[in-house]
Chain A
Amino acid sequence: MKEAVRRAHPFMPNSVDSIKQELLQELGIDSVEALFEQIPASHRVAGTFNFPPTLSAEVELNRHISTLLAKNQSCESHLSFLGGGCWQHYVPAVCQEIMSRSEFLTPVWGTPSSDHGRNQVWFEFNSQLGELIAADMVGMPVYSWGCATGHAIRMASRLTGRHKVLLPRILDPERRAVIANYCEPEEMPSHIAMVDIASDPATGALDLADLKKHLDESVAAVYLETPNYLGIIETQAEEIAAMARAAGAETIVGVDPLSLGILKAPGDYGADIIVGSTQPMGVPMSCGGGLGGFIASRDEPRYAHEYPTLMLSIADTAREGEVGFSMALMHQSSYGSREDGKDWTGNSTYLHAIAGAVYLSLLGPEGMRELGELIIQRAHYAAQRLNTVEGISVPRQQGFFKEFVVNFDGVGKSVAEINAALLERGIFGGIDLTETFPELGRSALYCVTELHTQTDIDHLANTLQEVCS
């Protein structure tokens, strides 16, 4: 066997014997082992490591990883109608170009002056998002929509001193599971009770009678979403916010930002705290790795002082007429006050804010409108079209944005069977709701976006016809 030649590793400039020797000499030691003297021998690794072979040659590594990835099937190779909080939207090339700039991609923190450009992009994202949702205060992004909602509920609980939140029964099960962890189990002292509010079975809108029944002075917040998990646009949002306000509760509204080119901004119908996903704004899905969330509100000290996020503000610099950007209210974060801070913060999804800033500026007001109109038209076309397929119904033909429920009760097959058959034909069918929303029967949640042409939708309908007959 050929003896391996020791080569300096490509990622490590000091992986050269002469440099190591020089450093050891500087320290007056013979071996690097001496430097680990603090660690008792009994703490050192006892056994061996079972590690796969090293792939330090990029050509080999590239082959290995791309061979792995080639085993996947994607929403590009297939026609996908999956949504439910992680959505396939078009990512403009400029978003990718800017997001992959080294100055944005690789670093962590700098000073406000030396990382001025990056801070400005963040501010531009928060500012554009603020216009979209009609909110003067936007925190730096958090991990996801669910995490944003969890934090917002805790903000409301601290603001009101109350420990109950009313949530729609129609809620993404993923998001609900995340929120549950933020509300703490009953045993904990600051437990927040989660109470479901029913929906009108016909319209899918929140059942105001049920809301009224539960809305009293123990309620910290009413949470509503529009469009909701099943795609329905909540038409009574203003009334719900007014009811919450009358009961002394905060109104938290969750939104899909891409709907806001055509839908009313939550800040304009009484939302106190606004949350949602950043993923649709220029970030690929990456199997859920594209998720991110935001928290926003009116610019009032009572809200400002409850944010757990970092807060980036525009500010003057020492040069007359020049502006820069810096973190405000750091002392209330966990970095500033440890367990006395507001919840916690840390690494988040800030790179996605850069994609989002580019995305929103590319679209502008007219692009947002065009996008919203195209999505809502094509989604309704899809609903109509699927409704004509034998055995399939789309119970709600209107009042939704990009997602809608498709019912298969008239087909002698389960949603899982139908989706399996679709998959064989190159289509990812909608999310199966059979177990999560049993009251909807054998149903699936279909998502249609600007990526779906009429031809795609017709192809889905025809394929479903074939699969379901």
Chain B
Amino acid sequence: MSKPVKLRRFQAPIWDEPVIMEMGVPGRRGAHFPVAEDAVAEAVGGAAALVPAAMARPERPALPELSEPDILRHYLHLSQETLGMMGISLFGTCTMKYNPRVNERLAARPEMAQLHPKQDPSTLQGLLEGVHNFDLMLRELSGMDQFVFQAAGGADAAYTHTCITRAYHAARGELKQRDQIITSIQSHPCSPATANTAGFEVITLPLDEKGYPSLDALKAAVSDRTAALMINNPDDMGLYNPEIKEWVRIVHEAGGLCFYDHANFNGVMTKIRAAELGFDACMFMLHKTFGVPKGGGGPAVGAYGCSEKLKPYLPGPLVTLDNGRYALTDPGPHSIGKVREYYGNLQQVMKAYAWTRAMGLEGLSEAADISVLLNNYMEKELLKIRGVTRSHPDIDGWRLEMTRYSLEELYEDTGVTVADVQNRMVDFGIDAFWMAHEPWLVPHPFTPEAGEMWSLEDIDYWIAVLRQVSDEAYSNPEIVQTAPHNQAVQKVKVEPLEEPDHWAMTWRAWKRKRGVA
């Protein structure tokens, strides 16, 4: 039973901060650059003469004109108008983590921040050593034989896999024939989306009553057209497919590759290894499971690991250790080339390496235990709240690190939607929860993920806030439906944004559409 919790009197700062485009005074300056040295100017003349006339900019860009302190304060105000995980963020599927500040300090050092990717590898030995050592640690955790870090996010790693799938089958002369990728409706949208972008037809398997697709459905889907399976396990409802080894066997037998989207690794760290389950490749998100900051959406890293079989197809270069020297090695003629310029977000890889060293093997194992323990504790408490049910109520047993809930009952009883609840919870200093990926398999879904960084007190507070909002929904639904009330701005009117006359992605467009001078 969660303990009694006193709700905070939260109020977000309201600065009514103008858009910077309407701030400033002509002539104000926020930064100076030196003028060219006399000898330089003497030798080459003025800049105007160096710009080809046809390409000279006739007018200055209409950027704001502010002084440096004004700019600092403007952006500090905006940071204060951002709850930004200063509350409690149980954003499911994203595995909210503590991002150690020592790693930020280290990554800001010039020996990391001021490196150019085309420097001679002899000048990058420390970085390459860190990257290689982290590769070795991920190999231990997955059983794979090589990792690359070029993919700039989880979806980019999924894309990497689709490119490798093309190269693998092309090398066998089967690419034209193998034009289908199989996934499940519970996979992350990036799996079907990247498969489609790579030119494959997507087969999406529905779930059966056990919460994952049936073996029969898989058997019916595989054929000599199967290029690959792209699957996550557990899914984001906390359900683990116990037949996954059989799945891999079936897809391999049909000649397809098996890719394990390890987005939901947090609850199974050190418990299972992708290669031991038979997978050819897997992906870890360093900005989720491995303690790298999310930055509100990157820079991120999708660490892609594969078995020996797929190594020749990896994007390059690979970081290798040859006779005590770290090198950037071309994977060879079968390589897919590049999914992004250069080697990846290596400053983030170094942060992940540092985080993993700080956690250690026992720390990872403990984090998995805590995240599963807390999730099941939360589930027990949340299901006591009026209007809350969980997905697949008939499936007994413990979930892993996430549970999918539904507020359908609450909605049916009160007319309050899941979005209303989300908007009301932020009034108590709770960061938005994750609902669910499209398509919603349960109505009014939400998916908190407790992880290991939040204290039991935080979790109890989160539960108490949801209980409070549920009580409000039944007693005074309007307060929930008109929320938020304690935030930097009120509810944004999103419906018109689908209309060309209303959307405005820049200040220029807004001025034009609103007739602002």
Contact = CB atoms under 8 A, between A and B. Distances in A.
B75 A357 contact: yes
Contacts of A374: 33-36, 47
Interface in B330-370: 336-348, 350, 353-354, 357-363, 366-367, 369-370
Contact of B242 (A39, A102, A188): A39
A350 B380 contact: no
Interface string A225-239: 010000001111110
B225 to A, nearest CB: 13
B373 A365 contact: no
A39 B271 contact: yes
A120 B492 CA distance: 13
A13 B102 CA distance: 18
Nearest to A78: B123
A418 interface: no
Interface string B42-79: 01101100111011111011111110100110111111
Contacts of B200: 188
Contacts of B358: 11, 54-56, 58, 61
Given A38-B398, A377-B41, A351 B298 contact: yes
Nearest to A90: B33
A348 B127 contact: no
A434 interface: no
Interface stretch (B12-20, B303-311, B405-413): B12-20
A400 B420 CA distance: 55
Contact of A181 (B204, B338, B456, B506): B338
B258 interface: no
Nearest to B62: A131
Given A54-B362, A55-B358, A287-B117, A92 B31 contact: yes
Contacts of A423: 120, 122-123
B250 interface: no
Contacts of B66: 361, 364
Contacts of B385: none
Contact of A110 (B83, B115, B204): B83
A67 B342 CA distance: 24
A311 B503 contact: yes
Q: Quick one: which of A53, A117, A175, A428 has the most chain B CB within 10 A?
A: A117
B300 A348 contact: yes
Contacts of B482: 318
Contacts of A354: 75, 296
Interface stretch (A321-329, A405-413, A461-469): A321-329
B276 interface: yes
Nearest to A420: B120
A117 B112 contact: no
B392 interface: no
Q: Top 4 A-B pairs ranked by shortest CB distance?
A: A54-B360, A103-B84, A346-B155, A351-B295
Nearest to B326: A71
B206 interface: no
A82 B120 CA distance: 11
Q: Quick one: which of A35, A76, A107, A450 has the most chain B CB within 10 A?
A: A107
Given A284-B113, A304-B500, A454 B40 contact: yes
Interface residues of B, number: 219
A12 B484 contact: no
A450 B36 CA distance: 9
B362 to A, nearest CB: 7
B176 A187 contact: yes
A364 B63 contact: yes
Interface string A107-121: 111111111111011
A20 B370 contact: yes
B512 interface: yes
- For this complex, into which size category does the number of interface residues on chain A fall? 35 or more
B82 A35 contact: no
A254 interface: no
Contacts of A369: 60
A236 B247 CA distance: 57
Contacts of A287: 112, 115-117, 119, 124, 127, 342-343, 346-347
B398 A49 contact: no
Contacts, number: 749
B9 interface: no
Contacts of B58: 264
B62 A365 contact: yes
Contacts of B468: none
Contacts of B109: 66, 69
A109 B94 CA distance: 10
Interface in A336-370: 336-341, 343-352, 354, 357-358, 360-370
Contacts of A178: 337-341
Contact of A104 (B79, B106, B348, B484): B79
10 contacts: A26-B377, A114-B83, A146-B341, A234-B55, A236-B54, A314-B507, A331-B498, A338-B189, A365-B62, A453-B37
Contacts of B175: 185, 187-188
A127 to B, nearest CB: 4
Contacts of B19: 120, 123-124, 127, 314, 323
A393 interface: no
B336 A181 contact: yes
Interface in B396-452: 397-400, 422-423, 426, 431-432, 434, 437-438, 452
Interface stretch (A133-141, A193-201, A210-218, A243-251): A133-141
A139 B78 contact: no
B63 A348 contact: no
Contact of B68 (A23, A109, A362, A371): A362
A71 B125 contact: yes
B363 A20 contact: no
Interface in B146-161: 152-156, 158-159
A443 interface: no
Q: Quick one: which of B29, B103, B204 has the most chain A CB within 10 A?
A: B29
B517 interface: no
Interface string A72-87: 1111111010101110
Contact of B61 (A52, A78, A265): A265
A288 B344 contact: yes
Contacts of A260: 57, 61
B494 interface: yes
B496 interface: yes
